[in-house]
Amino acid sequence: MTTLKASRTRIPPDTFNRVAYQRERVRIERRGAKPVYLVSEEDMELLEKLEDRYWAEEGKRALQEFKKSGKKAIPWERLKDELGL
């Protein structure tokens, strides 16, 4: 994740404070581009936890699917050699 100093952005200080201290979420629009959102650290941590949970569930699902397929795993040493690691 990229980090910018607040002083290097054009976010009005009152808006920054509402997000930081009152957990207000702000949608930022720019000339037809997809909007971006300014969220508090607490909201960002929650989003990251949700993302981690989603990918953990996807990993479990993929592992179950692999086990059902009956295929054999590629040994780690062979995979490292093939990838030049």
Q: 42-56: per-residue pLDDT in tens? A: 999 999 999 999 999
Parse the chain into domains and list their residue ranges: 10-39, 41-71
> 33 vs 17, 37, 58, 73, CA distance in Å?
25, 13, 30, 43
What whole-number distance in Å separates Cα of residue 30 and Cα of residue 9? Answer: 14
What whole-number distance in Å separates Cα of residue 43 and Cα of residue 39? Answer: 6
pLDDT reported for residue 81: 94
**3-state SS class at 26:** strand
Contact 18, 24 (CB under 8 A): yes
List of the chain residues with pLDDT < 70: none
pLDDT reported for residue 7: 86
Q: DSSP states of 36-53 as a string?
A: EEE--HHHHHHHHHHHHH
pLDDT reported for residue 1: 85
pTM of the model: 0.70
pLDDT reported for residue 12: 92
